[in-house]
Amino acid sequence: MASSKVDGLSVTIAFVFRERISQTIECLEHLISNTDYPHRLICVDSGSPQHIAEDMKRLSVKHGFTLVRSDEQLTPNEARNIALEMVETPYVLFIDNDVFVGKNWLEPLVKCAEETGAWLVGPLYLESFCNKTRIHMVGGEVRNRDEAGNPIFYERHHMQKKELEGFEFSRTKTQLIEFHTVLMNMEAYKHLGPLDPNLLGRSEHADLSMQVAAAGKEIYIEPASIITYVIPDSLDPMDRDYFSLRWCVAWNEASGAHLSKKYGIPINDNGLENSRNFCDTHRRRVLVRYPKVSGSIGKVANKFFNVFDRLIAKRAERFLNRSKFPATLYAQNRQFTSKIV
């Protein structure tokens, strides 16, 4: 079980950047106005432009939360680890800057952790894309060995992309959470140490889930808590470079190589390849735009765009991204500074 409360508080919220900047203030204001459960709030500003930084400072003064800034773009785990070092409560709640929380979302997560002793508790994850909301995941499966003990990387999200209507959910054990929003017992930090800083761009959630399972501790999904992750359809100009680096080839490949070494998984494992392909596809889907054509002409045009994307755009975009963000500068021997502002 978690240690005793600090100053009457049991949880610290760590608000960090994920893949974009432009929605930060909207999501932060929504988080503040929709969180009644007592908490401490730490926000880590990962190299936002001046007007966003000033708005975050204004909100920190108004609401009394701790604001930490780095002038460099941090990886998500780097930002989370900065916050972790400042946590004094029994639990920490990680949440990304592109998430909208539901009513009474925080208390059920804390209550679940207290009643079960779970080291990780995730909410019911929803996603919003083009103003349509559906299930993002309800837990899932993750493992680094198959039934015969051979090293593999396997990750599966339960109920992904399903419509929300018609389902009833209850608290349940799971193998997998995601960092969109997750409550972590600080006993996990004491036992496992910081989140792996060598996972720069992918699989951070899978790694933490596997580490907790290896320690013999439980993971739960508590659907009484609901959050919605906003999937970008297009990017604000201020987001393009941030998004490109967040999902860059250098971070993607370095993370895959580290995961392979850490768990003894062959680098050409299908699961690792699927993870790498997701990052490439996610980056290219948002950055490479094709005109929308309807009718009979649209069918021919869309077929052409699909072939062009697969044979030319995919390779060209990877080459340009690799050239813009070389591994020697962005993925090796990373150094950054941060300060409370």
pLDDT in tens, 59-71: 999 999 999 999 9
Output 227 or 296, whichever has higher pLDDT: 227
Give the span between the Cα atoms of 148 and 177, in whole angstroms: 25
Mean pLDDT for the stretch of residues 139-163: 97
**CA geometry: angle at 312 spanning 311 and 317, to 5°?**
125
DSSP per position, 250-266: HHHHHHHHHHHHHHT--
Strands 219-230 and 11-16: unpaired
Among 140-149, 232-241, 261-270, where is mean pLDDT lowest? 232-241
pLDDT exceeds 60 at position 92: yes
pLDDT of residue 7: 75
pLDDT at 224 over 90: yes
> Roughly how many angstroms between the first and final C-alpha of the chain, as a whole number?
34
Poorest-confidence range of 14-28, 49-63, 298-312?
298-312
| The pTM of the whole model exceeds 0.85 | yes
Q: What is the pLDDT of residue 2?
A: 53
Summarize the confidence of residues 228-233 as an average pLDDT: 94
Which of these, 326, 327, 325, 285, lies nearest to 305 by C-alpha position? Answer: 285
Q: CA quadruple 195, 196, 202, 204: dihedral positive or negative?
A: negative
Amino acid letter for position 262: K
Q: Which two tokens stand for residue 233?
A: 């359809």
Give me the pLDDT at residue 1, please: 45
Q: What is the pLDDT of residue 294?
A: 73
pLDDT exceeds 50 at position 340:
yes
List the domain boundaries for the chain: 11-233, 237-330
Q: Is the pLDDT of residue 292 over 90?
A: no
**Is the pLDDT assigned to residue 296 strictly greater than 80?**
no
Best CATH choice for the domain 11-233 from the list 3.90.550.10, 3.90.1150.10, 1.10.150.20, 3.20.80.10: 3.90.550.10
Q: What is the rounded distance in angstroms from the CA atom of residue 139 to the CA atom of residue 158?
A: 6
pLDDT at 131: 86
Does the pLDDT of residue 4 top 80, yes or no? no
DSSP category for residue 77:
H
Q: How far apart are CA 108 and CA 35, in angstroms?
A: 12
Compute the distance between CA of residue 332 and CA of residue 329 in angstroms, rounded to an integer. 6
Is the separation of the CB atoms in 255 and 195 below 8 Å?
no
How large is the average pLDDT for residues 115-138? Answer: 96
DSSP, collapsed to helix, strand or coil, labels residue 103 as: coil
Task: Please give the structure tokens belonging to residue 263.
Answer: 């768990």
Cβ pair 81, 179 in contact under 8 A: no
Share of the chain above pLDDT 90, in %: 86
Give, to the nearest 10 degrees, the angle between helix 204-214 and helix 249-263. Answer: 20
Q: For 163-201, how does the pLDDT look when each residue is reduced to its tens digit (9 = 90+)?
A: 999 899 999 999 999 999 999 999 999 999 999 999 999
Alpha-carbon distances, residue 125 vs 167, 169, 265, 314 (angstroms): 14, 12, 29, 30
